[in-house]
Amino acid sequence: MSWLEKVRNKIPFIVKRETPDNLWHRCPHCQTMIFNKDYEENLSVCPKCGFHGRIGSRARFDSLFDEGDYSVLPPPVVPEDPLKFRDTKRYVDRLKAARLKSGENDALLNAKGRLAGRQTVIGVQDFSFMGGSMGLAVGSAFVAGVKAAIECHSPYIIFTAAGGARMQEGILSLMQMPRSTAAIAELREAGLPYIVVLTDPTTGGVTASYAMLGDVQIAEPGALIGFAGQRVIESTIREKLPEGFQRAEYLLEHGMIDMVVPRAEMRDRLISLVDYLLPANEAA
């Protein structure tokens, strides 16, 4: 405790004011302090350096659908702890904590609404829910989103954010890779667009499956995209990798993705792509 604080504590008529901890946000890239309300209104993008922070599924839906009007699709019912897994904590306890923190049932949420008047189904992975990891619930939600898009003859747009497969579900989590790939094949058979937006971070089994199978591959600026981590790759091949080789801009330069689109321009770009891929006379 400083000398000034000791003096203030001893003077009875000085009123202490409690300052909420959530008034300000510090940009992790440029360290600028941003008023939290301004930061949220700017879609969690730093107004000084353009760093794209992570946002939740409902904030994403609000920024994309016409007038923020949409209906969330009910999450599929799946076995919650099929392997009765336990590490330092029980898996069921980890799920309870993640649900309490995020307010969502699992890491992938689908919603149906209109994008420039056109019926569209959008899925969003939330990294704050156990690192956006892919398990039975995420795989089932992805398949449900595809089926909803086929039912209403609309595009399916997925925003990915994941650390990979969910280890607490073992081989069952890995089986979501071919399962989601089969669902995408059904969407293509129906002649409907599948658009992927890669957000920070998209890694592991998600990258090795539905995240890289879009008709169009978009990424947000600076997004980390890859399968294994940089240190793992370097220790395997015993070579130093280029700076930023797993970032969106590097992947665009080397032909792995089609475009990098800032969050403020995402809605307009998606509208243009959907209009091109699914002309109005082919829509329902």
Question: Can you say which residues are annotated as belonging to the binding site for Zn(2+)?
Answer: 27, 30, 46, 49
Is 141 within 8 Å of 109 (Cβ atoms)?
A: yes
Is 114 within 8 Å of 65 (Cβ atoms)?
A: yes
Name the residue type at position 120: T
Residues at the binding site are 27, 30, 46, 49
